Amino acid sequence: MEKVRKIVTLQILVLIFIFFNTKGFSEITTNEVYLLSSIYAGKDFTNITPYPINSNNEFEAYPGFFYKSFDPLWLIGGIFETNWSDLERGVYLSDSLPYVTGFMGGYDAGSMRIVSGMYFFDPYLTEDELERQKDTSFDTNSDRVGLEDFGYSDPSKTLFIHRLEFNLCDRVRLSLNELNLIGGKYPDLSDANPFGIAHNNLGEGFSNNMLGVDASIIPTKGWQIYGQFAMDDFVVPETEGGATGYKPTAFAWGLGTRLVGKTSKYYISPKIEYYKVYTWMYNQWAPYLKYTAKYNGEDIPIGFDYGNDMEGYLIGLDIANETTRYKIIFEHYLKGEINLATPYDDERKTDVEGWPGPYGETTPLIKISFSIEVEI
């Protein structure tokens, strides 16, 4: 009920902003069209959406969210779709999620950007999930081992994400990202610390960190090479004795290239992408710390759309302008035996050779999709 009240309050605020604001929606890019136009012109723009194109120190209201500039600072809040990736299937925060509820903002100095987001997810757990969440016996590093029902099950799941992004020579973009998933307690100011990736706070039972690296190069006008890397965990056997049975190495990455051409009405962009998602990526022993979010009772990965233990490629064609977007995609992956519903204490996790995956007997996943989006 508290979650519903928060959403209703946020929607009322958005309606107030719309009522008092009749400005056009020219300040924010909410999809990849502006990025495609930048690639066509030979300049690299951020791959984060929504994102302000320019600022005028005014409130602007959009369907579902508001935007306020304090040049060079900016803030977006409400309910909106977001994407932090050039890839069709981003590996640490993608548009796999139907929408997010929360805030994002940043500092834009042109060649350098600092961006942060705070997103709130549905904290509902089934009876089995709640029992697993409260059980501290698996987390042998925790200072709460043996203290049942203590401090792990407050109904809250929040994601903080921070990015430091550099644009070099207008054609090279590089960013470092930190994701901090807080679950089982209500977040505080220390959880918003952008340097938490340097700390091993997973053993505290409330936080799961992920490191992300994002890069893009435009060798010439209309051609982009791009990629992402995400690290959930990395085991160094010489220094982490016993960790092989606790938190296996979990990486994910994607590489891609696209061409961007233009007709009188549309940008046309064929692309090809390759993905590798390790066997235990996004998984975790505590439901609130698993890199998934609930929508209508369904767990959706916050990163790669299809979850973990996969390897394969994607071929796509984007045809887009400011109001209409067509997307044709062919995908082929090999899927291993492990998925995000596999218990984190599964005995197969001790098989170090299987961590890169796909693990065990694989099955092909082939998907062809076509979509049309029209903004009215």
Please work out, in degrees rounded to the nearest 5, the angle formed at the alpha carbon of residue 229 by the alpha carbons of 195 and 294.
80
pLDDT of residue 153: 84
Read off the amino acid at residue 77: G
Q: 48: which 2 tokens?
A: 């984060």
Q: 261: which 2 tokens?
A: 């051409």
SS3 123: coil
Tell me the pLDDT tens digit for each residue of 315-360: 999 999 988 999 999 999 999 999 999 998 899 998 999 999 999 9
Contact of 251 with 280, CB cutoff 8 Å: no
Tell me which fold the domain 1-374 belongs to: Porin (2.40.160)
Please report, for the chain, the start and end positions of each structural domain, with discontinuous segments joined by +.
1-374
pLDDT of residue 132: 86
Contact of 149 with 130, CB cutoff 8 Å: no
Lowest mean pLDDT among 64-68, 81-85, 196-200, 364-368: 196-200
pLDDT of residue 99: 96
pLDDT of residue 2: 43
C-alpha 247/C-alpha 250 separation (Å) is: 8
SS3 198: helix
Tell me the pLDDT tens digit for each residue of 195-246: 665 554 544 568 888 999 999 999 999 999 999 999 998 887 665 555 555 6
Q: How confident is the model at residue 20 (pLDDT cuts 50, 70, 90)?
A: very low
SS3 244: helix
Neighbours of 238 (CB within 10 A): 6
Contact of 286 with 143, CB cutoff 8 Å: no
Read off the amino acid at residue 201: N
SS3 135: coil
In the numeric block, the tokens 């796509």 are attached to 316
Read off the amino acid at residue 328: I
Give 166's contacts (C-beta < 8 A, 6+ positions apart): 111, 112, 173, 174, 175
Rounded to 5 degrees, what are φ and ψ at 247? Answer: -135, 95
CB crowding 137-164: b at 16 or more within 10 Å, else e:
eebeebeeeeeeeebbbebbbbbbbbbe
10 Å CB burial of residue 54 (0-12, 13-18, 19+) is exposed
- Paired with 213 in beta bridges are 176, 229
pTM of the model: 0.87
For residue 64, pLDDT beyond 70: yes
Q: Is the peptide bond before 219 cis (omega within 30 degrees of 0)?
A: no
